[in-house]
Amino acid sequence: MGLRIHFVVDPHGWCCMGLIVFVWLYNFFLIPKIILFPHYEEGHIPGVLIIIFYGIAIFCLVALVRASITDPGRLPENPKIPHGEREFWELCNKCNLLRPKRSHHCSRCGHCVRRMDHHCPWINNCVGEDNHWLFLQLCFYTELLACYGLMFSFCHYYYFLPLKKRNVDLFVVRHELAIMRLAAFMGITMLVGITGLFYTQLIGIITDTTSIEKMSNCCEEISRPRKPWQQTFSEVFGTRWKILWFIPFRQRQPLRVPYHFANHV
């Protein structure tokens, strides 16, 4: 399956995503400049901690960009329905097109998305079958990056030895306290928000229920076959290799799942 680019024209989504990119850039450049490199040069921390920081930041950015531009599972106007699977399709009452069950019509994007979870303004895209795994990686690496930044901010003031070499002529050094306070505020805000979102996403995957299905109460526990959590996560990430669940650079291949499991709604 080739990479399908999807771009949503939505000024509100552009503003939200622009804010996320600003927070990322702010921490990507200022945390190393103020904390990591000075303490590394004076021997307070090993260089591997800097490599880990940049690794988490790059993974976070890649997951953000790919989740934003990847087609979430938009249905074509004339889908080819395999023989024997028509009972698992239904007619959308908004766009009058056939769609698989568990699909949903996004009013903001104007089309149906396979197994749509929700429309996220922070990535300016729907979260659906083909980019849900990237959205989970984005939540995971954003949480890691926020924790990493907050941990080093705390250690910089309360644990590490004071820096001996400081160039007070630099803007970031003269205004270090204000810069770090803003970084801490953004880090705490992101951490609290992402933790709640990530938790609800994980519970949804474990119970094999999307956010839209939870809100509409259309999934009855009695009528839904239970699947092990390894199976539900493998279906979302497109692989049973758990190490690949954390790699945002790869290409997802959907797993072939029996239809009595995949279409139980």
Q: What is the DSSP letter of 71?
A: -
Q: What is the per-residue pLDDT across 190-230, written as a single tens digit (0 to 9) for each?
A: 999 999 999 999 999 999 999 888 887 755 544 556 788 88
HSE value, Cβ hemisphere, 13 Å, CA-based, for 39: 21
What gap in Å lies between CA 134 and CA 60, rounded to an integer?
Answer: 10
For the packed helices 229-237 and 176-206, what is the interaxial angle rounded to 10 degrees? 120
CA torsion angle for 217, 122, 150, 165 (degrees, to 10)?
A: 170
Flag whether 115 is in a domain: no
Flag whether 256 is in a domain: yes
Q: Which domain holds residue 40?
A: 13-72+131-212+227-260
pTM summary value: 0.88
Q: What is the per-residue pLDDT across 13-47, written as a single tens digit (0 to 9) for each?
A: 899 999 999 999 999 999 998 889 989 988 889 99
Q: What is the per-residue pLDDT across 95-125, written as a single tens digit (0 to 9) for each?
A: 888 888 889 998 888 889 999 999 999 999 9
Q: Find where tokens 């839904």 sit.
A: 224
Flag whether 112 is in a domain: no
Q: How confident is the model at residue 258 (pLDDT cuts 50, 70, 90)?
A: very low
Flag whether 60 is in a domain: yes
99 bridge partner residues: 90
Q: Once rounded to an integer, what is the mean pLDDT over residues 129-141?
A: 96
Number of domains in the chain: 1
CB-neighbour burial class of residue 263 (10 A; exposed 0-12, middle 13-18, buried 19+): middle
Collapsed DSSP state (helix, strand, coil) of residue 23: helix
- The whole-number pLDDT of residue 249 equals 93
HSE value, Cβ hemisphere, 13 Å, CA-based, for 96: 0
What gap in Å lies between CA 33 and CA 39, rounded to an integer?
Answer: 10
CA 17 vs CA 24, 65, 69: distances in Å? 11, 10, 12
Which range of 74-83, 130-139, 161-170 scores highest in mean pLDDT? It is: 130-139
Flag whether 91 is in a domain: no
Q: How confident is the model at residue 175 (pLDDT cuts 50, 70, 90)?
A: confident
Backbone region of residue 101 per phi and psi (left: phi > 0; alpha: psi in -120 to 50; beta: other values): beta
Q: Which of 92-96, 101-105, 141-145, 228-232 has the lowest mean pLDDT?
A: 92-96
- The whole-number pLDDT of residue 168 equals 67
What are the residue numbers of the active site?
120
What gap in Å lies between CA 78 and CA 80, rounded to an integer?
Answer: 7
